[in-house]
Chain A
Amino acid sequence: MQPTSELVGPALRARTFGSMGTVISLTVPAGAVPGAAGGEAKLDAATAAVERVFAGLDETFSLYRPDSEASRLARGELCLRDSSAGMRDRYADALTWRLRTEGAFSPERPDGVLDLSGLIKGYAIGQAGEALRSRGITDWCLNAGGDVLVTGSPVPGSGASWAAGVVDPLDRSALLAAYELGGPGTRCALATSGSAERGDHIWAAGFGARTAGSSGAEFVQVSVAAANIVTADVLATAIVAGGTAMLHRATDGWEIDVLAVRRGGELLATPGFRA
């Protein structure tokens, strides 16, 4: 365990819970939830709400749960036509993304199983954000297994941005770069995808026949900052799958910032990551 260092930054409060096979962290500024006594309770309630969002989606879409709708679909017990509206909507979203990324992002595994996990985590974060906003919490930072969505500022009312650090894939105890989220900028979501990661939704991409797994991937890690967490999540996945061509298509077609790490450790980045 890393020794905890003296906190010099803004005063923050955090809650964590496990879901979708990873850990979700909700961080809010200390004064964000009003009322000293009621504040903690409110934070707990908000965390519970976020946890419910994740749990609900995990129950439907997780392929690791044998009784989830996704697993039943995979086994053939259910056909897509008879599936829930939520399943079909997310599938439609995934297909749209497949079109936009020209196949680099695809919800279908090579074995034909429908795996929407690449989309669901981002979607869950977005839904959780809505839940937080509806509770009147205006400054928060939600991190679900490395995908970050923020609103407001770590120092409420100051206009300062949240700072997210990007992990160095070659040394996971060190940071490669920082990126400012929220605040005056438009980007409030940061998603990172890697080719050596849990969740094998980076199989052979649409163009350029690449074998599944890390052996053929050009980029070992890609971080995408965007205005929307699903966009960031999908594009990060797509760029890892699709390589340089997809990288350029993504930067051309969307307002994003990208930090891509090559297998040899070289970096490719848009101006937003520059010092």
Chain B
Amino acid sequence: MRTRAAVSAALASAGILIAGWQSGLHVADTGSSVASAAAGSTGSSGSSGTSGSAGASGSSGSSSSSSAGGTTGASAKAVGTYAGSVVQTRFGSVQVQITVQAGKITDVTALQLTDAERKSVQISNRAAPLLRTEVLAAQSADVQTISGATVTSDAYLNSLQAALDAANL
């Protein structure tokens, strides 16, 4: 009977492990791993979602085998977006995506960030560098109101808002 127990236990365990493995394969996994490092080089470098972490070492995010400076792999790729592998840090999983143009990193975006309470951080709404041509363009004729730093009553007279108000009075 001991054989029966051993065999059943082995089969059951193997089955459970395989089921877990299979189910894990469906979990979204990373894209091609990034060879270059440069954590927080240009742009926002805002990948440290760790409130309370004293130093910048918290979840630098880029793939683990960081080496300073771009590696040959990265510079060979002129243009593209690359997602790093998911790194387990003490705060949770971190994954970063970089955009490379002409061999330089022009954007760093966090794809996965968790804060100290292990909550997923709102990363899709981060402020990123924007060119003036990329904002929603505005002509004073198209808007109904103007937002700007508070002006004194005197400065108001020369303001765009005054023009709009005058048109509607």
Contacts and interface: CB of A to CB of B under 8 A. Distances in A.
Complex: A in contact with B (CB within 8 Å): yes
A48 to B, nearest CB: 16
Given A9-B141, A251-B122, A259-B135, A269 B127 contact: yes
A147 interface: yes
Interface in A38-73: none
Given A169-B149, A192-B148, A143 B130 contact: no
B22 interface: no
Interface in A171-218: 172-173, 175-180, 190-194, 196-199
B143 to A, nearest CB: 4
A271 B129 CA distance: 10
Contacts of B149: 146, 167, 169, 192-194, 196-197, 221
A84 interface: no
A145 interface: yes
Given A12-B144, A164-B146, A252-B49, A23 B156 contact: yes
Nearest to A10: B144
Interface residues of B, number: 51
B140 interface: yes
Interface string A152-178: 001000000011111101001101111
Given A14-B169, A146-B151, A165-B143, A176 B132 contact: yes
Interface of B: 44, 46, 49, 51, 115, 121-132, 134-153, 156-169
The 10 closest A-B CB pairs, nearest first, are A194-B149, A167-B148, A178-B138, A14-B168, A177-B135, A145-B150, A165-B143, A197-B149, A2-B163, A175-B138
Interface of A: 1-2, 4-10, 12-16, 18, 21-23, 25, 27, 121, 141, 143, 145-148, 150, 154, 162-167, 169, 172-173, 175-180, 190-194, 196-199, 221, 223, 244, 247-249, 251-253, 255-260, 266-271, 273-275
